[in-house]
A = this chain, B = another copy of it.
Amino acid sequence: MGLKRIDHKDLGQLTYHQVKELIVRKALRPGDHIRQDEMAQQLGVSRTPLLKALNLLERDLLVEFIPRRGYFVKQYTYAEMREVFQVREVLEGLAARLAAEHITLDETAYLRSLFAPFHGADAIDMAAYESADQAFHRQIAAIGANAVLAKLEVMRNVQVLAYQMGLHLSPEQTLTDHAAIIDALERRDGLGAERLMRAHINAGTRIIEQHIAEGQP
């Protein structure tokens, strides 16, 4: 009783993760046409599970599907990335507000611990910092405990691409913003947390808008 049903992984799921890796690691590059036969063969599966994987990736906004032409690795313009950030702003704002309702002291402590290595550090290991940043946002969404939001959270894969486009705040700025958000969460100030989170992501949006203003696509 109360046993958790083990979640079987079908090849579709496994293939999904593999192809996602290929995309975020840029082994598959933006704009690339994903040839199904070739890709299936390389992964050692048939086209059937690959197609399932590609459908999931389309939902994640990592690939684009054009009927009769195929699947392409999504190539983001700054304008499109801005749209993603506009949506992220409200979704993560919601996540923060919901998180404030349930959050425990252990969880705030964990969130703080993510950034402890970087406070007062001479040089910041950007790769480590990027994963900490992502863990922070992921964790808040998880604490928010809204299953619908969690499904949309897959949109966060795009965040990796955004980093690759150089679209992130300075570590100093982020550390300050995150600390303020954690404080709000700790005092169960849902509206405050939402407002701060939105402002934080909106700062990212404004960086994108600078690129656009400078005439970049």
The answer to whether B7 touches A83 (Cβ under 8 A) is no
The answer to whether A87 touches B83 (Cβ under 8 A) is no
A84-B149 Cα distance, complex, nearest whole Å: 8
- Chain B contacts for A151, CB-based, 8 A: 61
A51 contacts the other chain (Cβ, under 8 Å)?
A: yes
Q: Mark A63-102, 1 if CB is under 8 A from B, else 0.
A: 0000110000000000010011011011101100010000
> Which stretch (A30-38, A52-60, A131-139) binds chain B?
A52-60
A124 contacts the other chain (Cβ, under 8 Å)?
A: no
| Interface SS of chain A | helix
Nearest B-chain residue to A81, judged by Cβ: B148
A81-B51 Cα distance, complex, nearest whole Å: 30
Write the nearest CB–CB distance from A42 to chain B, whole angstroms. 22
Q: Which of B9, B98, B149, B152 contacts A67 (CB 8 A)?
A: B9
A148-B59 Cα distance, complex, nearest whole Å: 10
The answer to whether A147 touches B67 (Cβ under 8 A) is no
A67-B10 Cα distance, complex, nearest whole Å: 7
Nearest B-chain residue to A98, judged by Cβ: B86
The answer to whether A8 touches B55 (Cβ under 8 A) is no
Nearest B-chain residue to A48, judged by Cβ: B48
Closest 7 pairs between A and B when the two form their complex, measured CB to CB? A90-B90, A8-B67, A55-B55, A83-B148, A83-B146, A90-B94, A59-B59
- The interface of chain A, by Cβ under 8 A from chain B, is 7-10, 13, 48, 51-52, 55-56, 59, 61, 67-68, 80, 83-84, 86-87, 89-91, 93-94, 98, 146-149, 151-152, 155
Seed contacts A61-B148, A90-B90; 4 additional CB < 8 Å A-B pairs:
A7-B67, A8-B67, A83-B146, A86-B148
